[in-house]
Amino acid sequence: MLLAFTLFSTSFLAATILPFSSEAALIAALHEGLLPTTALLAASSGNVAAIIFNYALGYFLYEKMHTKLHASKTGKKAYRLGHRYGYYAMLLSWLPIIGDPLTIVAGVVRLNFWYFLLIAGSLRVLRYYLIIINF
């Protein structure tokens, strides 16, 4: 149980901007004997909880910066591009380094939360599933 909680926590932190590797933690947990289904559930739920947190962070950041964002020509253009191509960008949200900031941007540009969760969450679960079946 402690191992599953540790995996959940590591997966949550790894999906923020902190430099953790949830994949390494997943492999270590499997190596320590955590059942694959438990590992998938713990890693996926931690990671999905974190992308929800990131989205909310971006959503509320917009409240603080929308005046500045829309005051500049570049800011307006960036917002429009983010809103127009945001769902396509979510297809890259599972990637290391760029994926986690993309989930914050999704909140800033106010992508539909349920579509965001469906795309980004599914890809993160799929990533862990592929790691587990190849372990």
The string of pLDDT tens digits covering residues 63-87 is 888 777 778 888 788 788 888 888 9
Domain count, the chain: 1
Range of the domain at 69: 2-133
Determine if the pTM surpasses 0.85: yes
Q: CA-to-CA distance for 57 and 5, rounded, in angstroms?
A: 23
The string of pLDDT tens digits covering residues 106-121 is 999 999 999 999 999 9
Half-sphere exposure of 122 (CA within 13 A, CB side): 8
Q: What is the pLDDT of residue 78?
A: 79
